[in-house]
Structure 1
Amino acid sequence: MSPSRPPTAVQMPSLSMRVKSSMIMGLTGLISRCFLHGFNRVEAHGLAQFRELLDSRADPEKRERGLLTVSNHVSVLDDPMVWGLLPLSYAFNPNNLRWTLGAHDICFKNPVFASFFTHGQVLPCHRSKHSIYGGLFQPCMTQAIRLLSNPAPAPSETHYSTTGTDSILSPLTHPYYRRYSWVHVFPEGLVHQHPDVDLRYFKWGIARLILESEPKPDIVPMFIDGTQKCMAEDRGFPKFLPRIGKTISVTFGPVLSYEETFGDLKSKWDDLVRRENARQQKTKTVGWLWKTPVVVEQAEEVQPVETQVGELMSEELRCGKEATEIRIEVARRMREEILRLRRERGLYGESDVSFGLAETWKVDKKEGGKKYTSNVDGSRINQD
């Protein structure tokens, strides 16, 4: 059962926090819009229906589910630049704008950056290739799942840690104000500049957002093309300046039918969770039989295991074979939805099927740098 909602005045963050977010998000949106429309040619497909969706979510009290947008990642400009497609009336309303994941070692490497990106609605994400704190189950994933959901009231702490030593302001300190938020992710996990804008495999964190958010979120696939020409990874001097006069195209798909796309996998996941919950409810004690320890299951009833949304109660749910197989298929289907938008553009050939497999890209794991040419497809990779 969803927790009861207190008055909005109680839910809202401090005036200072709201002003900072409005200024950072608004000015960033203004710069992005000026760059897109003032210096480039813009093609936006499906934007009207996407704006209608955002308009329907303008009042947090009337939202019934979170919004998850998912896209390919072809340039360091993708976020926040593509949101410059939205009129400025959207830019200064942070509560109806996206949250996203940003590299901890870049966006949160010092207190100034951490404050800027936190107020810019970015969650710190550790990349496993560069940090021992990375992976599917790091705190930013829990935060993102709860932003998409209607979480229980947060504990009294206003900050959380991703390493045990850092301190990040938690958006979930105001759970009712943040309930059913909009989260955008790039499941490729890095900038991937393929000549035909083909996609790498999708990392499995996207499956956690799709399967574990409660209730099921609205999911909108997006396909971005053209920003890679503004910031090509092999560009010459001056490298820090984006190129202008390019055609930038962003395609917004319709809201996916969750049941048609992921319904069977969600049922499998929920069944696995129920089975694990039942197993966890059985307490075990150690007895002795002729000096040999044996495990004895107690028959009496025990209370169900209490968990919050975004928490996984057992190792089987985290890393078990069945859980992994479900996540792989969810990620594959989500990638296919974005490839469908790519095909609708009519500019590129069919995707290489092998690119959708994680094992295809293992050869690139030997690359130590953050920027390199992929050994798989010759694409330019930027892990910044």
Structure 2
Amino acid sequence: MSNPTPASRPGAPWRLASVAVMGSVGAASRAFLYGLNKVEVTGLDNLLGVLDRRRSGKRDRGLLTVCNHVSVLDDPLIWGILPLRYAVDPENLRWGLGAHDICFKNRFFSAFFSYGQVLPTHRLWHSPNGGLYQPTITQAIKLLSSPSSVVKPSDMTFTTTGSDCFVSPSAFAANHYAWVHIFPEACCHQNPENTLRYFKWGVSRLILESDPAPEFVPMFIHGTQNIMPEDRGFPRFLPRIGQRIRIMIGQPTDADSLFGHYRSAWKRLVEKSGDPELLKNDPEAMQLRVDVAKAVRDEIQKLRLSMGFAPEEDETAALAETWSKEPNKRKFKSPVDGSLVNRH
């Protein structure tokens, strides 16, 4: 018997729950940002223009937004910049990556964050299930890409540990060509000069392996670190108000125009190996991921400099090995640049 074509979208109860979660969180984030803080957004039309075009049915590729990470509240707080009409349209909103041990630690949290279009992600420093090739990264690649012509019953769910089980968003055709947002630093990095850490290679997989190449929009944020500073005192659980929040959104660009030569190199490696699985530890493939992550970081760095921050004094900050001396802890002061780090 032939495989059925992919279901169009999740059932009505799931969609209603998603509208409720994303709409209420979006409204709360917007009220907090604009009601209790001073917000300056540059380039908002760049993002809204893409979302409007995609909502009108002109979706022939995914959307990848990439941003620095300075606060545990960056997501969902930064999406409060979107007018409320966008917050009740989940099919045109972002899919994000959330820590499995925090966002999915019980049944209630799992349901809430799943309805909120968050994918369960393991951090390798914390869990042996983490890393570049965990199932969640594969889900994100599929969400960015075109839908498959067939779907197997086994594709309807996925597991991140072998014992948990989540509905697979990529099983639904309407979820493809999706908007995926990622913080490639993969931890909160609070530095007075808002410098950048190295970018992890998951973002490289999203760019190299999605098909077709997604639309790419870089972002840079400053000020949310003052809402939830890592060195805050009592009451630690309360966000601080009256802060100046600055968000810059870059021009949307076809990823092929920025990273096309890397994608071509990846395709040659896949053709040569005959199986992408064989490229997990291939030296050329690994170097390609390093180069793509660095290139993505350079795009965010351009926005940072345009906001008036000083250039980096040490270019090795873009390399993973520079940060390898950091302790294997959740929260610490980095010995590399003195920043406060939270691997939330």
The TM-score by the shorter chain falls in which range? over 0.9
Please list every run of at least 4 consecutive aligned residues from structure 1 whose deviation after the TM superposition is greater than 4 angstroms. Answer: 3-6
Alignment partner, residue 108 of structure 2: 112
Secondary structure of the residue that 1:57 maps to in structure 2? helix
- Cα distance in 1, alignment partners of residues 47 and 282 from structure 2: 37
> What is the aligned partner in structure 2 of residue 74 from structure 1?
70
**Match runs of 1:33-112 below 5 Å:** 33-59=30-56, 61-112=57-108
2:204 aligns with one of 181, 201, 207? 207
TM-score (norm 1): 0.86
Determine which structure has greater relative contact order: mean sequence separation of CA pairs < 8 Å that are 6+ residues apart, divided by chain length. Answer: 2
Shift in Å at residue 106 of structure 1? 0.5
C-alpha contact 1:36 1:84 (8 A) present in aligned 2? yes
Match of 1:379 in 2: 339
TM-score (norm 2): 0.96
Q: Percent identity?
A: 50
Residue identity matched to 1:239: R
2:174 is aligned to 177
Q: Distance in 1 between matches of 2:257 and 2:26?
A: 34
Summarize the Cα distance change of 1:37–1:351 in structure 2 as closer, same or farther, 3 Å threshold: farther
Residue aligning to 1:362? 324
RMSD of aligned alpha carbons: 1.6
Q: 1:245 aligns with which of 228, 242, 259?
A: 242
Cα deviation, residue 12, structure 1: 2.3
Contact 1:196 1:349 (8 Å CA) reproduced: no
Query: How many residues are treated as equivalent by the alignment?
Result: 340
What amino acid does structure 2 have at the position aligned with 1:151?
A: P
Equivalent in the alignment of 2:158: 160
Report how far residue 128 of structure 1 moved.
0.4
The equivalent residue for 1:222 is 219
Alignment-derived partner of residue 291 in structure 2: 329
Moved more, 323-332 or 248-257: 248-257
Matched letter for residue 340 of structure 1: K
Please give the secondary structure, in 2, of the residue aligned with 1:197: coil
The correspondence for 1:136, drawn from 132, 135, 146, is 132
- Equivalent in 114, 125, 146 of residue 150 of structure 1: 146
- 1:381 Cα deviation (Å)? 0.3
- Given that residues 107 and 117 in structure 1 are in contact (C-alpha distance below 8 angstroms), is that contact kept between their aligned partners in structure 2? yes
Amino acid corresponding to residue 369 of structure 1 in structure 2: K
- Provide the C-alpha distance between the structure 1 equivalents of 2:90 and 2:100, rounded to a whole number of angstroms: 21
Per the alignment, residue 298 of structure 1 pairs with none
Q: Which moved more, 1:85-94 or 1:258-267?
A: 258-267
Structure 1 counterpart of 2:220, one-letter code: F
Pick from 3, 26, 29 the counterpart of residue 26 of structure 2: 29
Equivalent-residue separation in structure 1 for 2:124 and 2:328 (angstroms): 12
Which structure: larger Rg? 1
Separation in structure 1 between the aligned mates of residue 175 and residue 144 of structure 2, nearest angstrom: 9
- Contact residue 190 and residue 382 of structure 1 kept, 8 A: yes
1:341 aligns to 2:338 (yes or no): no
Consecutive unaligned residues of structure 2, counting only runs of 5 or more, are: none
Matching residue of 2:118: 122
